[in-house]
A and B are shown apart, each in its own frame.
Chain A
Amino acid sequence: MNTPRVLQVHSRREEIPGTFTLQLRAADDQPLPSFVPGQFNMLYSFGAGEVPISFSGSARETDSYTHTVRALGKNTEALQRLLAADDIGVRGPFGRGWPIPELAGKQVLVIAGGLGLAPLRPLIYHLNDNYQQFAGIQLFYGDRHPQQLLYRQELQQWSANMQVNLSVDQAGPDWHGHIGVITSLLNNAVFPLDNTIALVCGPEIMMRFSIQALRAKDLPGEAIYLSMERNMHCAIGHCGHCQWGPTFVCKDGPVFRYADIEKWLYTREL
């Protein structure tokens, strides 16, 4: 598990400036291990280092892995330079994903901040493909500007089967959606307290505020899930870097149930 497997960039798509999606395929005829929405891979671009990146494609695509990456530093910039047909090193899938079996029959709230939509997209595909199995689906997605919203075409398509609520911090006059922080959308959301599950992914501070808004409406902590980020070197529970309280984010997470980690989420510098 220490040595990456060679995959090949099949396609590359610029989502918004600086954020791109890679579709990877096997360079040999061995099948790709299946993944659960919310899990991640360690991606290695030759000569750079390895970074954790969530799956952002559909788990039903069994012959490829899709990852959406924002170029922020040395390693993500190296990934940014990859072109179709380039080789890439991949280890994974790792971690625990979103609690799919728990969702059937529920009102599902999907709450994404910024790039947090990417790790939620495999889950959204699942919800969209099976929308009749759920009592209802509401997507809340906030970012800074309308131009920064990811997957804009798909957001349109999804709105056929789910309520899509967009929110931006700032926008020009041609924006017809909500302006402000995502929590104000959540404050107005309507959902049954005894049959709802909320799944949250985004910057830590956005997740904290979103969860507070949900808790203020008395949604139980057992019904809220979030995806955490910590420094990772091994992804298999050996290197210690991702420790967060008693958990290893790489193997016990990245998806956690809020009720289980509440204490740690509010401890500073943990």
Chain B
Amino acid sequence: MQTAILAAADLDQLIQLLIVEGFQVIGPVRDQHAILYDQISSAADLPQGWIDQQEKGSYRLEQSPNQAYFGHTVAANSWKKFLNPPRRRLWRASRENGQLVFQAESNEAPPLAFIGVRSCELHAIRIQDAVYIQGSHPDELYRSNRQRLFNVSVNCTRATATCFCASMNTGPEVSLPSDINLTEVIDAEQHYFLVKAGSPAGERIVAQLPTRAADQTAQQAGREAIGAALQQMQTGPRYFDSSDVKELLYRNLESPSWDDVAERCLSCANCTLACPTCFCSAVEDSTDLTGDHAERWQRWDSCFTNDFSYIHGGTIRESTRSRYRQWMTHKLATWIDQFGHSGCVGCGRCISWCPVGIDITEELLHIRAAEAK
């Protein structure tokens, strides 16, 4: 499909079309001190004119010099909570006259439309797809949310300091399919979106928008904006060659660096909750007071918790050292053996949201340096 131009003032029409089509639209919103993904009802809900500054253990919003809608980078939370809710009931059971009856939960949620999905985030969703729906036992709730999802992706035109998608080869330019792809172009004279449909459903929506064809100059402006984000990362401290990381970690399961990071890590699980690819969950069974009704709930879990690896006789990963090692080697190494791709997309959330500022890219450097010694 041809690239078209949508005036920034007409962005709201896209959102309204999606709402009319029956989608619950989710997009970035400004919530006190951070940008979050949440339900939106118009373009006015978007954090226009706000950008984020993220660093190790720090996240700050500031007013941008321009009125871009998507000048910020990844939100504090990720899209995963909409596809796989943090807590959900799996089934209910009852015992009537001694007979056990299970009732599976059905999915009554409306179809979702995500607006503002970044390249690293499309990769993260694809990574979770591999976990939940590509195996022999697909998760029905995730699959139904996912199959009905309408994705509006946005190319990043700015990186914050914690972004390292360029190192993980997942961005900043969107390369995976989405229903509609946007590139925001803004300067003193103009403010518009380059719009490209990526699916028949996307084409149907774009056809209803007041667009005009994008000429070479406009398309070049889009490429340059994305190039600026890339350059920010390439000249930053978190730019590295990730091609040998699996072998590096497999060689260094007993690196002294693990002891070092264990002294700082609080085992608080923030990183796993913020991470868009972390998928672990736990189930909890409960019974009501009559004793005749029981339920099973599934909730997000983290490999940093104490009972995560418990088996009779004790927890297997007792030390923080072993838990951080599990988390990081899973993200960057064992994931590749499990699914054929890395489990890290370089979004930087774990770096910003770590209360003590532990930085996965820096820990990688430490391990490399310790090995070279």
* Interface residues in chain A, defined as those with a beta carbon under 8 Å from any beta carbon in chain B: 1-6, 27, 44, 46-50, 72-73, 85-89, 229-231, 233-234, 236-241, 243, 245-248, 251, 263, 267-270
Q: How far is the CB of B177 from chain A (nearest CB, A)?
A: 24
Partner of B91 from the list A2, A240, A263 (CB cut-off 8 Å) is: A2
Given A3-B91, A241-B282: A236 and B135 within 8 A (CB)? yes
Partner of A234 from the list B281, B287, B294 (CB cut-off 8 Å) is: B281
Offer 16 A-B interface pairs, CB within 8 angstroms, sorted by A: A3-B91, A3-B102, A4-B91, A6-B100, A89-B102, A230-B311, A231-B308, A231-B310, A231-B316, A234-B281, A236-B135, A236-B137, A239-B280, A243-B330, A245-B334, A269-B322
- B330 to A, closest residue via Cβ: A243
Given A3-B102, A87-B98, A239-B282: A46 and B131 within 8 A (CB)? no
**B176 at interface by CB-CB < 8 Å:** no
Partner of B90 from the list A2, A88, A247, A270 (CB cut-off 8 Å) is: A2
- Asked whether B100 lies within 8 Å of A267 as measured between CB atoms, the reply is no
Complexed CA–CA distance, A40 and B307 (Å): 22
- Asked whether A246 lies within 8 Å of B334 as measured between CB atoms, the reply is yes
A234 partner residues in chain B, CB cutoff 8 A: 281, 283
- Asked whether A237 lies within 8 Å of B318 as measured between CB atoms, the reply is no
Complexed CA–CA distance, A234 and B299 (Å): 12
* Interface residues in chain B, defined as those with a beta carbon under 8 Å from any beta carbon in chain A: 90-91, 93, 95, 98-102, 104, 131-132, 135-137, 139-140, 250, 253-254, 279-283, 285, 287, 291, 294, 296, 301, 303, 307-312, 316-319, 321-322, 326, 330, 333-334, 337-338
B294 partner residues in chain A, CB cutoff 8 A: 46-47
Complexed CA–CA distance, A86 and B101 (Å): 13
Given A246-B334, A269-B319: A6 and B102 within 8 A (CB)? yes
B282 partner residues in chain A, CB cutoff 8 A: 233, 239, 241
Q: How far is the CB of A1 from chain B (nearest CB, A)?
A: 4
B131 partner residues in chain A, CB cutoff 8 A: 237-238
Partner of B132 from the list A47, A238, A267 (CB cut-off 8 Å) is: A238
Q: How far is the CB of B30 from chain A (nearest CB, A)?
A: 33
A248 partner residues in chain B, CB cutoff 8 A: 338
- B311 to A, closest residue via Cβ: A231
- A73 to B, closest residue via Cβ: B312
Complexed CA–CA distance, A240 and B102 (Å): 25
B250 partner residues in chain A, CB cutoff 8 A: 263
Complexed CA–CA distance, A16 and B136 (Å): 38
- Asked whether B132 lies within 8 Å of A241 as measured between CB atoms, the reply is no
B309 partner residues in chain A, CB cutoff 8 A: 230-231, 241
Which of A27, A47, A87, A251: most chain B CB closer than 10 A? A47
B338 partner residues in chain A, CB cutoff 8 A: 246-248
Known: A4-B91, A50-B285, A238-B139. 11 other contacts (CB 8 A): A6-B99, A6-B102, A46-B95, A49-B283, A50-B283, A73-B312, A85-B98, A87-B98, A239-B301, A240-B281, A270-B253
